[in-house]
């Protein structure tokens, strides 16, 4: 009975492939989750920045506060209901700390009076309403006075109106009254050095009858504030998108700087610079050596030409001098070159009776060091530059 052995290499290969795929999938999921978290964080920061800007840049659009008048009734003269004009003190600070008016922003300030259509108010005619804005210490910084009156309605019109709305009037859904709005300021601007803390409102009539009164402040927007207030959704999308793009660019550059900083660290850059400087120094050394060798060859040629002209030696001697000069150019020992030059001079100065085939032996005292040779003689022999080097 035979048993089949499973192909172990194939199973190992499949296991390795599955393991690698799991690692890649895990890495992809982690990278995707990280990118999503960064994008959500950037979006939240963009919304927060736009909301903060909108809250700080857009002032209070509408502000309405009730006006409670006070007056005196202890007058001594008979026939007068009121002894003084109705007056109210209005504070323009919200919650005891926030100012209603913003610096440089134009405002429209008006007073709305709820007046009954009573015979007294109908006979009242025109009346004056004044406002005085004050700052710290009660100092008046601005004042304005406007006139107002009830809208005229004839007796026949009032009768028809009463007959037509009799049911509503009887049930209390309608009242016979008028809303009179008095514009006190059409373009009031807050001064940053003298802020407005409150206002005094006075009705200059002692017989007027009022149900209620309200002070209304409405801001007039221009430019960017006009767009932000009248097109809030469009400006919000543009603002959030702009903040998101700006923050994304900052994060992208930070990531690239981090990646490049790990690849191009200071140690790697310093090592590369040092290697480049070493190569430059080596090239300069090779160039200097080549220049020195060329100068030695040039000096040797000039020396041989000078010695040949003075001594008038033959072709054989010139060849020997050329060989000696080549040896001088290849060898760096200065004494050897000097000794060779001296031997050549001795050969040229020996009388004709002496056989040139015999070698000339110099005694130790006759071989002088190069440093003891006079400069004029060295200059004639063309070895001055070699001695200094």
CB 212 within 8 A of CB 65: no
CB 182 within 8 A of CB 111: yes
3-state secondary structure (DSSP) of residue 75: coil
- Does the pLDDT at position 254 exceed 80? yes
Task: Answer with the residue of higher pLDDT: 260 or 58.
Answer: 58
Architecture of domain 62-220: Sandwich (2.60)
pLDDT tens digits for 97-122? 778 888 888 999 999 999 998 888 88
Alpha helices in the chain (DSSP H): 8-57, 119-124, 155-164, 166-171, 224-230, 232-263, 266-311, 315-330, 334-349, 375-381, 384-388
Residue 42 CA to residue 339 CA, distance in Å, equals 86
Q: Residue 129 has what pLDDT?
A: 94
Q: Residue 366 has what pLDDT?
A: 43
Mean pLDDT of the chain: 76
Q: Residue 111 has what pLDDT?
A: 94
Report the predicted TM-score, pTM, of the whole model to 2 decimal places: 0.55
pLDDT tens digits for 50-83? 999 998 888 888 999 999 998 877 776 665 666 7
Residue 216 CA to residue 108 CA, distance in Å, equals 8
CB 85 within 8 A of CB 127: no
Q: Residue 233 has what pLDDT?
A: 93
Q: Read off the DSSP letter of residue 352.
A: T
What is the residue extent of each domain of the chain?
A: 62-220, 286-388
Residue 5: pLDDT band with limits 50, 70, 90: low
Percent of the chain with pLDDT over 90: 27
Q: Read off the DSSP letter of residue 133.
A: E
Task: Answer with the residue of higher pLDDT: 330 or 34.
Answer: 34
Residue 346: pLDDT band with limits 50, 70, 90: very low
- Beta strands 106-116 and 177-189 are antiparallel
- Does the pLDDT at position 389 exceed 50? no
- Does the pLDDT at position 47 exceed 80? yes
């Amino acid at each position: 009975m035979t048993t089949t052995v499973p192909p172990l290499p194939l199973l190992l290969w499949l296991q390795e492939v599955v393991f690698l795929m799991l690692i890649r999938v895990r890495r992809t999921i982690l990278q995707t989750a990280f990118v999503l978290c960064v994008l959500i964080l950037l979006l939240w920061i963009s919304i927060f920045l736009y909301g903060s800007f909108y809250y700080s840049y857009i002032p209070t659009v509408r502000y309405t506060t009730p006006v409670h008048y006070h007056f005196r009734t202890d007058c001594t003269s008979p026939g007068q209901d009121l002894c003084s004009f109705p007056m109210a003190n209005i504070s323009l600070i919200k919650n005891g700390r926030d100012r209603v008016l913003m610096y440089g922003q134009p405002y429209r300030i008006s007073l709305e009076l709820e007046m009954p259509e009573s015979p007294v108010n109908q006979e009242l005619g025109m009346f004056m309403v004044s406002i005085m804005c004050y700052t710290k210490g009660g100092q008046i910084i601005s004042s304005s006075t406007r006139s107002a009156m009830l809208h005229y309605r004839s007796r026949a019109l009032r009768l028809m109106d009463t007959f037509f709305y009799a049911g509503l009037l009887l049930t209390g859904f309608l009242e016979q009254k008028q809303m009179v709005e008095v514009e006190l300021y059409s373009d009031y601007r807050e001064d940053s050095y003298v802020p407005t803390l409150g206002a005094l409102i006075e009705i200059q009539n002692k017989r007027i009858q009022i149900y209620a009164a309200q002070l209304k402040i409405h801001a007039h927007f221009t430019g960017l504030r006009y767009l932000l207030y009248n097109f809030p959704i469009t400006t919000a999308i543009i603002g959030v998108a702009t903040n998101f793009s700006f923050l994304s660019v900052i994060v992208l550059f930070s990531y690239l700087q981090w990646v490049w900083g790990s690849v191009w660290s200071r140690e790697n850059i310093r090592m590369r610079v040092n290697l480049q400087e070493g190569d430059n120094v080596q090239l300069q050394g090779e160039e200097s050596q080549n220049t020195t060798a060329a100068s030695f060859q040039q000096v040797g040629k000039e020396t041989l030409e000078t010695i040949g002209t003075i001594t008038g030696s033959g072709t054989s001697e010139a060849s020997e001098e050329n060989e000696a000069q080549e040896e001088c150019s290849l060898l760096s020992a200065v004494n050897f070159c000097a000794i060779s030059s001296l031997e050549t001079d001795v050969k040229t100065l020996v009388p004709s009776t002496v056989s040139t085939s015999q070698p000339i032996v110099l005694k130790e005292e006759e071989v002088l060091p190069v440093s003891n040779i006079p400069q004029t003689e060295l200059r004639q022999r063309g070895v001055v530059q070699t001695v200094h080097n």
